[in-house]
Amino acid sequence: MGAVTARPIDGALQRQLDQWDLRLDGDVIEGHGSIIQPVRTPDGAPAILKIGGSDAESEHEHLVLRRWGGEGAVRLLSADPPHRALLLERLHSATLRSVRDVDACDVVAGLYGRLHVPAMPQLRSLVSELDGWTRRLQSLPRSAPIPHRLVEQAIALGRDLSTEPATVVLHGNLHYATALAADREPWLAIAPAPVNGDPHYELAPMLWHRWDDVAGDVRDAVRRRFHRLVDASGFDEDRARAWAVVRVVLQATRDPANLTTYVAVAKAVQQ
């Protein structure tokens, strides 16, 4: 979640407050493309009203939250899909950033097993996404700031990964900041970017977040995270490594300001 801001209630937020008979219960919070407002329901229960952006990743958030039914994830109370509005149970503000790194990896690995339910026909396919990503990498000029060797490697791995050993619902963006402390369970996942695909796709965000913790020990710290996640989840090490390289290289093309971080991760998981 982003920083708390004081702002007038905009039309989208007011519409949902009126529709669900909610009352404000704190300051609005700006998320990544979303508005997150603490509220109280008509019976006084604490909740979160989330107004999502127009990105494709959040389009089916309500569907996967309903499918999970609160098992390993925040519970969906109501949804207004045309307006990208969700009413969610309110969790605590503590994230896995406050937990020892190795323990956080165990928590996330445990959530994988609960969230990876059978594929849903409404969701995007990771295989079809992968084809587009490979073409995007192929179009990069040799002068692109990311090392060309890593780009070529990601392209080759992407081709190898086009056949999936299993297809399940993936959270898509599970890391230290997208798991919150809760009352009914110690930790619950929030903010999915759902897609159907290979479970091994999930690990990469855990490798590049909470980066301050790995300063001065990048190679060993990233490898510790990677192997802890693989061991705790029972994933295939080679396939998890391949997906990590592909995702890290793609992320470097989207977030060039943090290029050195992504290059360091890609190198560390292969050493």
Output 22-30 pairs: Cβ under 8 A, ≥24 positions apart. 22/47, 22/49, 22/87, 28/4, 29/1, 29/2, 29/3, 29/4, 29/5, 30/2, 30/3, 30/5
Question: Does position 157 have pLDDT exceeding 90, yes or no?
Answer: yes
**Which tokens sit at 192?**
């999915």
Amino acid 211: pLDDT: 93
Question: Does position 6 have pLDDT exceeding 80, yes or no?
Answer: no
Output 27-31 pairs: Cβ under 8 A, ≥24 positions apart. 28/4, 29/1, 29/2, 29/3, 29/4, 29/5, 30/2, 30/3, 30/5, 31/1, 31/2, 31/191
For 268, residues 6+ apart whose C-beta sits below 8 A from its C-beta are: 207, 218, 219, 222, 223, 226
Q: Which of 241, 171, 168 is closest to 207 using CA atoms?
A: 241
- Average pLDDT on 58-68 reads 94
Amino acid 64: pLDDT: 98
Q: Do 195 and 172 meet the contact criterion of CB atoms below 8 Å apart?
A: yes
Helix (H) or strand (E) holding 130: helix 126-138
Amino acid 122: pLDDT: 94
| Model pLDDT for residues 32-52, shown as the tens digit of each residue | 778 899 999 999 999 999 998
Tell me the pLDDT band of 5, cut-offs 50, 70 and 90: very low
For 92, residues 6+ apart whose C-beta sits below 8 A from its C-beta are: 180, 181, 182, 183
Question: Does position 63 have pLDDT exceeding 50, yes or no?
Answer: yes
| Model pLDDT for residues 214-240, shown as the tens digit of each residue | 888 899 999 999 999 999 999 999 999
In which residue are the tokens 């060993």 written? Answer: 220
Tell me the pLDDT band of 8, cut-offs 50, 70 and 90: low
Neighbours of 29 (CB within 10 A): 18
| Model pLDDT for residues 174-219, shown as the tens digit of each residue | 999 999 999 999 999 999 999 999 999 999 999 999 999 888 889 9
| Model pLDDT for residues 79-132, shown as the tens digit of each residue | 999 999 999 999 999 999 999 999 999 999 999 999 999 999 999 999 989 989
| Model pLDDT for residues 126-143, shown as the tens digit of each residue | 998 998 999 999 999 999
Q: Which of 121, 110, 124, 118 is closest to 194 using CA atoms?
A: 124
